Structure 1
Amino acid sequence: MLLIGLLGVFQGVLVASEQNSMANQASRAAGIGSQVRVSLDTLGRHRVVEGMLTGAACNAGASVQALAGGLESLDPGAEPWAVRCIMDLDAFEENADEADRLLPGYPKTDRERFRRVLVRVSRLDPVSSVSIDEVAVIVSWNELGRRRFLRQFVGFYDASPFGNGTNIEI
């Protein structure tokens, strides 16, 4: 009886340890996503939407699109949002100068465990006809044989005189 009881206790400890490890990974992914989101917000709309997330950086292959956490397949007919760019942030930062990286101190252990992808979607506000751009920061990792995704969003609004009328980026 004692042996059966001890086996149950050890199995409970193993399950709790696994759950704790999964929670730690999700928490770390949330921290990474928050750091990227704050960096994007600091850069501002013009440098992110009209600079960083345009051109060749947006030509993501199928393997990177699969890391977009479902945002790669938005249907503009069913959704008001259209995908404008999918960018592999890890590949971008790997080739960028230290000063041009969003997270210059991103540790190697995190680079090996997590993947970071940026997805820019946009739509026109139906009332004001102002362009609304959102950038999704997707951090993904493998856990128990499947890919998990954490998504965080940054909203950018048109700061032109015809946009919000204040010439201030929001």
Structure 2
Amino acid sequence: MLNHLTGPEPKWCGAGLIDPPRIAMAGHSIGGASAIPAMLADPRIRAGIDIDGTSEDPIPDGRALSRPFLFLGKTATYTPGSGRPETISWENGWKHLSGWKRWPLVTGVVHQSFTDLVLLGDQLGLDFGAEQPGTRTVAITRAYVRAFFDQHLRHRPHPVLDRPSPRYPEVLFCSVEPPSCQ
């Protein structure tokens, strides 16, 4: 796809807006799970984010990904050391990430909380089962995704990526060894 967007004869009229040295990938669910395989296949992808997606394509032993990567998910599914298959997929990926990496988890949310669907649900009175309101989880998701891209594509450091923030007390920072979240 990047060849079609950035090659000598791009297929999209907006291709000139793409800055090839600042290409990153972020996705939710299966889109997020595809970020690591895409980065392994294409070195032009400088940074990646998996938002609440379980990877079925582990990084092969002997390979490492040295570019920045962010796992962003919910505590109910991705708490390190839980033994859940979803968590194990992130733990396996984590050990092959040799560059900058973080594992923030959001408390009181569900899978849909990381999408615009929760905003519609709030307006329509639909309950997805999350403790956090949709407006709050969308704000959290946007803040962390924006901070990650600013830091790794524009070289603008964001402290919110380095430690828990009083602005976002719902976000815990996790570590695999030893398994913990704070």
Q: TM-score range, shorter-chain basis? A: under 0.3
Higher relative contact order (CA 8 A, sep 6+): 1
Name the structure where helix makes up a greater proportion of residues. Answer: 1
| Rg (Cα) greater in structure | 1
Task: Give the alignment's TM-score, normalised by structure 2.
Answer: 0.22
Higher strand share: 1
